[in-house]
Amino acid sequence: MAETTQFELVTPARVLVQQDVEMVTIPGSEGLFGVLPRHAPVLANLKQGRVDIYENGAVTSSFMIDGGLADVTGEKVVILAQRAEDLSKVSAEELSARAANASEAEAAFLTAVSDAIA
């Protein structure tokens, strides 16, 4: 069994993910970075982009975040994001409908999510 690290993706509204993962890639403000078990402690600013979760060497799930903060320790990765969407659970039609009734910032994020699933 491969070594894992605890991963959490949290928004003000809910906890989207809380699971053990082999690796996660995160869109840092200085560039994309990967986190494996026993990673050195890091506190990083994040930009809008895709978070990929890896199991058995392959991406098993992906999320779009709208910036935030990542707290990485040797045992755990916590991403605090203002907005996040599970890319496997949304459709372009749903995102378009939500964007029509959203604030400007939310609509811009939903458009970016729509582009990511296209």
Closest residue by Cα to residue 68 from 29, 101, 33, 96: 29
Closest residue by Cα to residue 9 from 70, 55, 57: 70
CATH T-level topology, domain 5-86: ATP Synthase; domain 1 (2.60.15)
Report the distance separating Cα 113 and Cα 66, nearest Å.
9
Distance of CA 110 to the CA centre of its chain: 14
pLDDT value at residue 69: 97
Backbone angles phi, psi at 113, to 5 degrees: -65, -45
The mean pLDDT of the chain is 93
Domain positions in the chain are: 5-86
51 within 8 A of 63, measured Cβ to Cβ: yes
Q: Name 50's Cβ contacts closer than 8 Å, sequence gap at least 6.
A: 25, 27, 62, 63, 64, 65, 87, 116
Backbone angles phi, psi at 88, to 5 degrees: -85, -10
The per-residue pLDDT for range 60-106, each reduced to its tens digit, is: 999 999 999 999 999 999 999 999 999 999 888 888 888 888 889 88
pLDDT of residue 1 exceeding 60, the answer is no
Look up the pTM and report it.
Answer: 0.91
Amino acid symbol at 9: L
